[in-house]
């Protein structure tokens, strides 16, 4: 069994480097020959709510998804903290494209399964991250039912766009800072390794795949599992490939 996974691409607008990167990933023969294709969150820098404007704004992406699904590929999407409340958006997508088998596109907060004796756990990473109480509060608010209702039914698209531009500026600053020195990355890397070990103690698995940290890592834990993170895709220009339990990073270009 072969799986390919990417996260944290942060596409801002159609035609940008991030979109080129994601389309190259989705069109790569290696990725297309995978049994499972995982999009593990923050694929878009801002996609909140079921606004059909996204179909126009990111038409290259949706065309690619359409073509992958129509050729029978299986896609697994985990919402990130930049692209969420989008289940309804995909319901609308499959309503428009009635010819497509919607069961080939699955969305969940995490995916767990066993293949050739190994247990996989794939998620975005924000839910497992330790030492981030402020984020946990933020997440519980934005995913609460009143706000979920607001995002899905009422929040106007132009407002989301403004929020997006604001939060993108903030995360750009954060990314530049995060990548300024190798020593800056170590605490984040260590925190995610600890987070993985803490999750392992609660939920057993052999392979944990996630993103969110923006720090690339492949860690073999003494506890007896492997943790892999592809980092910020625009910097790493790679994706995660797992073939019969063997993990590797592959270049996109
Ligand atoms: Mn994230």
Q: The domain spanning residue 230 has which CATH number?
A: 3.60.21.10
Please, where are the H alpha helices in the chain?
Answer: 17-27, 29-32, 53-57, 59-70, 87-96, 133-142, 145-149, 157-178, 182-202, 233-236
pLDDT band at 158 (very low <50, low <70, confident <90, very high): low
Residue 173: helix, strand or coil by DSSP?
A: helix
Q: How far is the CA of 10 from the centre of ligand 1 (A)?
A: 9
Asked if residue 160 has pLDDT above 80, the reply is: no
**d(CA 99, ligand 1 centre) in Å:** 32
Query: In this predicted structure, which of 116-125, 143-152, 156-165, 196-205 has the lowest mean pLDDT?
Result: 156-165
Q: How far is the CA of 168 from the centre of ligand 1 (A)?
A: 12
- The CA-atom distances, in angstroms, between 114 and each of 1, 127, 205 are 11, 21, 9
Q: How confident is the model at residue 137, as a pLDDT?
A: 81
pLDDT given for residue 179 in this prediction: 53
Q: Which structural domain range is residue 93 located in?
A: 2-251
pLDDT tier at 172 (50, 70, 90 boundaries)?
low
Q: How confident is the model at residue 145 (pLDDT cuts 50, 70, 90)?
A: confident
**Ligand 1 center from residue 27 Cα (angstroms):** 24
Residue 42, pLDDT above cutoff 60? yes
Q: Between β-strands 225-229 and 75-77, what pairing exists: parallel, antiparallel or unpaired?
A: unpaired
Secondary structure (H, E, C), 33-93: CCCEEEECCCCECCEECCCCHHHHHCHHHHHHHHHHHHCCCCEEECCCCCEECCHHHHHHH
Under 8 Å between Cβ of 217 and 131: no
Distance, CA 87 to ligand 1 centroid (Å)?
17
Residues with CB in 5 Å of ion ligand 1: 42, 80-81, 212
CA 44: distance to chain centroid? Answer: 9
Contact 252, 25 (CB under 8 A): yes
pLDDT of residue 88: 95
Structure tokens at 202: 């609660």
Of the candidates 57, 43, 48, 49, which has an alpha carbon nearest to the alpha carbon of residue 14? 57
pLDDT of residue 164: 57
Please give the Cα distance from 70 to 66 (Å, whole number). Answer: 6
Euclidean distance between CA atoms 112 and 119, whole angstroms: 7
CA pair distance 220, 101, nearest whole angstrom: 37
Q: How far apart are CA 243 and CA 1, in angstroms?
A: 6
Q: What is the pLDDT of residue 184?
A: 80
Counted domains in the chain: 1
CA 185 – ligand 1 centroid, Å: 16
Cα Rg for the chain, rounded, in angstroms? 17
**Residue 84 · residue 142 · CB < 8 Å:** yes
How far apart are the CA of 75 and the centre of ligand 1, in A?
Answer: 19
Alpha carbon of 98 to ligand 1 centroid (Å): 31
């Amino acid at each position: 069994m072969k799986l390919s996974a990417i996260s944290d691409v942060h596409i801002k607008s159609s035609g940008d480097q991030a979109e080129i990167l994601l389309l190259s990933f989705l069109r790569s023969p290696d990725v297309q020959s995978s049994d499972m294709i995982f999009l593990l969150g923050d694929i878009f820098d801002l996609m909140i709510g079921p606004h059909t404007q996204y179909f126009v704004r990111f038409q290259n992406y949706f065309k690619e998804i359409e073509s992958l699904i129509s050729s029978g590929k299986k896609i697994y999407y985990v919402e990130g903290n930049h692209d969420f409340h989008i289940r309804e958006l995909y319901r609308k997508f499959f309503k428009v494209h009635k010819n497509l088998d919607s069961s080939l596109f699955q969305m969940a907060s995490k995916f767990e399964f066993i293949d050739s004796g190994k247990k996989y756990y794939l998620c975005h990473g924000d839910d497992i991250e330790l030492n981030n109480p402020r984020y946990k509060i933020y997440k519980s608010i934005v995913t609460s039912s009143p706000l979920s209702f607001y995002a899905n039914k009422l929040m106007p698209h132009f407002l989301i766009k403004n929020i997006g531009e604001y939060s993108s500026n903030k995360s750009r600053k954060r990314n530049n800072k995060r990548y300024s020195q190798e020593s800056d990355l170590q605490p984040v890397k260590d925190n995610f390794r600890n987070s993985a070990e803490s999750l392992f103690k609660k939920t057993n698995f052999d392979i944990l795949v996630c993103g969110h940290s923006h720090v690339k890592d492949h860690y073999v834990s003494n506890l007896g599992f492997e943790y892999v993170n592809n980092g910020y895709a625009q910097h790493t220009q790679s994706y995660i490939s797992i073939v019969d339990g063997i993990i590797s990073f592959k270049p996109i270009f």
